[in-house]
Structure 1
Amino acid sequence: MQCLRITIGDDSFKQLVQQVHEVAVASHANADVPFESIVSKLKKDRDLSRHPLVQLVFAVHAQQDLGQLKLEGMETEGLGDAKTTRFDLEFHLYQQPNGLWGSVMFSTDLYTPETIDNLLSVFHRVLETCLDDPQAPVASMPLLRDADFSRLDAMGLTRVEETAYPRDSSVVDLFRQQASACPSRVAVKDSATEMTYAQLDAASDVLARWLAGRSLAPETLVGVFASRSCEAIVAFLGILKANLAYLPFD
């Protein structure tokens, strides 16, 4: 396995393929460097539950027509893919006489099957476009099929309106403006509940007042240990309202 650092920029697909080839070939010059030596140069406080170098694996396996294992007097069956992954996301492609077939392994803590389906659809679309026009810049490749784009367009999600950002306003100021303009609209929701802007404003005010009573210095870090939920947003906003800073814990 090779860890490659690739910069796309304004490269065409053809240039990107050439860059990957050159980086992959050049990396063999460091093939004898021990893995432990590389890891030791990284941050000492790394997350031991994750790979220290990469989180995405893209592997093309060259073996073809492996056939089926047959043992005289015995019946065999494949065990299938592993139920765990060492990385956030793994793509495995296998060359076949009539094309490629593959599988995706992913961390269920980070992705849902629907997200992976969408990701594969985008990959397929980009690959089609790149092969049709290898000289086109990769950054300009469409990510959606026409039917998918039409659905988003019908919902008004493809039209971008530029608005000057009020740089003199804080996040709290902007939130309060929004809460005042549409208090009954849903501001945040999770798998179990939802909160309107008015509810979120009131709940975060309660926390802000409690924190203000602790006599903490401005911008003091306040740790937040919470799942992705409405309560976490209440905590973040309440801390900001108290002129403090929040530090999420994973």
Structure 2
Amino acid sequence: DLAAYAHQDVPFERLVEELNPSRSLSRTPLFQVMLALQNVPEAAWDLPGVRVSPEPPPPRLAARFDLAVSMVERRDALGAPAGLDGEILYATDLFDADTVRALAQRLTRVLDQVAADPGIRLSDVDVLTADERARVVERW
């Protein structure tokens, strides 16, 4: 893992080119689901006579992976962590909006529980709602 972190700036396309994995047209070459957390503080530019402001990236029209969850750490005026913003990009031939919305709600539920109790055991984290659990455990 440490070696991978040391090379995290290598573009994904270059990684695929170097590793040259066996390819299938039915899926992406290395993985199908990506979770990215951007938690690097925003750069503060102080250039005399120059005004700098961030420019948001253009919207993506197509998902690069089957499912990509991206989260960005939000900070308050003093620079302290103030929450997460996120988006999910998905292949519409594999997922529908309702399914992705349910996945986002489950991820939010897990993150809320872990934030409320960082020492919580993984086995005690509730991913499903009470209704979902009843459906899986009792009705199915």
TM range (shorter): 0.5 to 0.7
- TM-score normalised to the size of structure 1? 0.40
Match runs of 1:16-95 below 5 Å: 23=1, 25-28=2-5, 35-39=16-20, 42-43=21-22, 46-48=23-25, 50-61=27-38, 62=40, 64=42, 67=53, 81-95=59-73
Structure 1 or 2: larger helix share? 1
Unaligned runs of 5+ in 2: 44-51, 76-81
- TM-score normalised to the size of structure 2? 0.65
Q: Report the secondary structure of 1:51's partner residue.
A: coil
Unaligned runs of 5+ in 1: 1-22, 70-77, 162-250
Greater than 4 Å deviation, 4+ residue runs: 28-34, 65-69
**Superposed CA RMSD:** 3.4
Q: Report the secondary structure of 1:159's partner residue.
A: helix
Alignment length (residue pairs):
121
Distance apart, 1:111 and its partner CA? 0.5
Would you say the 8 A contact 1:64–1:95 is kept in 2? no
Q: Does residue 103 of structure 2 align to residue 119 of structure 1? A: yes
Distance 1:94 1:136, change over 3 A: closer
Relative contact order (alpha carbons < 8 A, sep ≥ 6): 1 or 2 greater?
2
Distance 1:131 1:100, change over 3 A: closer
Q: Report the secondary structure of 1:114's partner residue.
A: helix
Distance 1:160 1:137, change over 3 A: farther
Distance 1:34 1:82, change over 3 A: closer
Would you say the 8 A contact 2:70–2:88 is kept in 1? yes
Rg larger in 1 or in 2? 1
Distance apart, 1:49 and its partner CA? 5.3
2:79 corresponding residue in structure 1: none
Percent of pairs with identical residues: 24
Would you say the 8 A contact 1:60–1:94 is kept in 2? yes
